[in-house]
Structure 1
Amino acid sequence: MTLLETIGVTLPIVQAPMAGVSTPELAAAVCNAGALGSISVAATTTDGARGMIEDARKHTAKPFNVNVFAHTPTPRDPEREIAWLASLAPLFERFGAEPPLVLRPIYKSFVEDDAMLAMLLELRPAVVSFHFGLPGSGKVSALKAAGCTLIATATNLAEGLAAKRAGMDAIVAQGWEAGGHRGIFHPDAPDDRLGTMALTRLLALRSGLPVIAAGGIMDGQGIRAVLDLGAIAAQLGTAFIACPESSADEAYRQALAGPGAAHTLITEAISGRPARSLPNRFTQWGGKVGLPHPGYPMTYDAGKALIAAAKAAGEDGYAAQWAGQGAMLSRAMPAADLVRILSHELAQVENSVS
């Protein structure tokens, strides 16, 4: 019996906790279909997180994953922040707006958020997962004592071994192909950019933890491939963006179905951390700006302000449209139907092999 089966998940499928895209309705639909649904509370307050968890529980009695960001807070650099805002000023002017006067660390890391911990200990979600790093031993011990299964993202073996030492129950092997933010612990350190296949096999053999593979997986054949490499499940994010239960707006959905899906790229210009995105005007600007950004999440404060200004002016080309390298294989359908199709495709592959 795999780790997920012990908590009541019958299919080796995990819906990625996509901050800003995954919703309680999406997570619940995935859970009710037999997979593990996820919500991310990293971009909200403790009260907002409580509301999301309670909302998900209104729609499902199944276990689901609650994701938080565990990044090391970035030191402030006023000179970089001022220069970054100045570089963005012409874009804001184009949309009849002004950039923020100052930048703020808009997302509080779980490593310093005791209020979020207290709320999780009270509500006790079945699974809690961490992105960008690991919380301290006190938080880990408290969550485990509350009965939570703990999962961390790893992009290399060193991070996987650190997750093992920290007391994680499983790791998400996030390959370079994955959409959204890289889970790399130290964004300024060299990134080996390991692909999903190589990373999954490496962690399955050497981390000492159950592995959930992520990155570029869009169908049952992809799920079967990572299971054959030793993973206990596959995590899919981009595959669920086009589901009606996600909060992706119409422009995002059209971009996902457009030619840009064949050309996803990594950018730091939107948030201050490397993230795989559909190409658009924001990523194009980021490739030319030629300035060091002020770090995460201060860069995202500026990015969100620009996105809002552009959208208010009817321009959708400055949105954060995260997507992985498998984006061209996206299918628009209700989440429960997608889970059933993925399960059917997986079964077909297994039957053909047997």
Structure 2
Amino acid sequence: MTLPQRLGLTAPIIQAPMAGTSTPALAAAVCEAGGLGSVAVGALDPAGVRALVAEVRGRTARPFNVNLFVHRAPVADPEREAGWLDWLRSLFVEFGAEPPEALQAPYRSFVDDGEMLALLVELAPPVVSFHFGLPDAGAIAALRDKGVLLLATATNVEEARAIAAAGLDGVVAQGIEAGGHRGMFDPAAPDPQLGTLALTRLLAREALPVIAAGGIMDGAGIAAALDLGAVAAQLGTAFVLCPESAADEAYRAALAGPGAYATTLTPLVSGRPARALANRFTALGAELGERRVPDYPIAYHAGKALNEAAKARGEHGFGAQWAGQGAPLARAMPAGELVATLAAELAAARG
């Protein structure tokens, strides 16, 4: 049985797990339309994950994906973090707020969360995917023993080979065009910044089925990925304007505007490189100088606090408005209609 068959796909389309943007309603609508819907739970506690999975299951009986962050534990550096807050202080003051007294990681990695593993083993969602790395062999075996299909993100060939060696079922080939966080296992290592098509073609020669991700927004893009050896395509930015997504009005307006042509990779928001629509926050990169961003996700504490302070004063230029390089192709329509449109465009592209 092929990976798309195991995923229950009638269209080779996976809705990317987008923390803060994907919802059970979005995931379920994609599933019901024949794709694979995803929810991102890396920033949630076990109680939140239990509720989220229950809601998805209440909306669809089809397979769906639960995505987890598997980053290395952050290294606290009080001096660096205090310097970061001092640098941002003038912006907080602009919006009538004070920065946090100290920074803390707002969530844990799956690597360090035995309670989350126990919950997922209990719930046994149809698909679990990993971003930023891999859990240990014991966690992988525990999920596999429950019949869970496992995927993980790779940004280069070495990461893909590690995913194959760990016994997973498929690899998400994340090109540099992709919106949101780069899935590199080690953010301090050199990043070859491979594009989606080149990476897909390289990984198609390896041992695992490949899901292409990054900059794909329509049926023609899906067809190109399939022609290069992918078995499916994962789209994130394409679903942000769907009414089922949790994107706020400012995010939707920015994505639908001329700024969609200007996405940029920045570590400023969270501490890891992520592709976003250019805004006031990303523009701070020009002033970064020799400053070191706090470790991921400790930096997110400052970023989230600054965004909340700015939003309270009507300024929306500090949000994490993640978007890929295909952002100008985004369309506002219900998720099920979008999946059907993508499938029709794919059929037309492939003749």
What is the TM-score normalised by the length of structure 2?
Answer: 0.99
Residue 186 (structure 1) aligned with residue 208 (structure 2): no
Question: Per-residue CA shift, 1:169-192, capped at 9, x if unaligned?
Answer: 100000000000000111111100
Secondary structure at the counterpart of residue 316 of structure 1: coil
Give the structure 2 partner of residue 101 of structure 1.
101
Aligned runs of 1:274-353 on 2, under 5 Å? 274-290=273-289, 291-351=291-351
Unaligned runs of 5+ in 1: none
Query: Runs (4+) of structure 1 moved beyond 3 Å?
Result: none
1:252 counterpart = 2:235: no
Matches within 5 A, 1:72-83: 72-83=72-83
**Ranges in structure 2 where 5+ consecutive residues have no aligned partner:** none
Counterpart of 2:66 in 1: which secondary structure?
Answer: strand
Counterpart contact for 2:15–2:37, Cα < 8 Å: yes
Q: Report SS of the residue matched to 2:150.
A: strand
Aligned residue in 1 for 2:2: 2
Rounded to whole Å, the distance in 2 between the matches of 1:43 and 1:171 is: 22
Which whole-Å deviations, capped at 9, do the CAs of 1:11-67 have from their partners, x for residues lacking one?
A: 110000000000000000000000000000011111001111101111111100000
Does the 8 Å CA contact 1:270/1:286 hold for their aligned counterparts?
A: no
Q: 2: CA distance between counterparts of 1:210 and 1:243?
A: 28
Alignment of 1:1-354 (within 5 A): 1-206=1-206, 208-290=207-289, 291-351=291-351
Aligned 8 A contact 1:87 1:289 in 2: no
SS of equivalent residue, structure 1 residue 348: helix
Equivalent-residue separation in structure 2 for 1:65 and 1:96 (angstroms): 41
Q: Is the 8 A contact 2:7 2:36 kept in 1?
A: no
AA aligned opposite 1:239: A
Query: How far 1:287 sits from its partner (Å)?
Result: 3.0
Residue 61 of structure 1 aligns with an amino acid whose one-letter code is A
Tell me, in whole angstroms, the C-alpha distance in 1 between the residues paired with 2:241 and 2:278: 17
Could you list the per-position Cα deviations for residues 211-261 of structure 1 after superposition, in whole angstroms to 9, with x for gaps in the alignment? 000000000000000101110000000000000000000000000011111
Percent identical across equivalent pairs? Answer: 62
Q: CA deviation at 1:4?
A: 2.4
Deviations 1:241-290 (A, max 9, x none): 00000000000000001111101000000000000000000001133222
Q: CA deviation at 1:10?
A: 1.7
Q: Secondary structure in 2 aligned to 1:205? A: coil
1:295 Cα deviation (Å)?
1.0
Q: Aligned-pair RMSD on alpha carbons?
A: 0.7
The two structures have a TM-score, normalised by structure 1, of 0.98
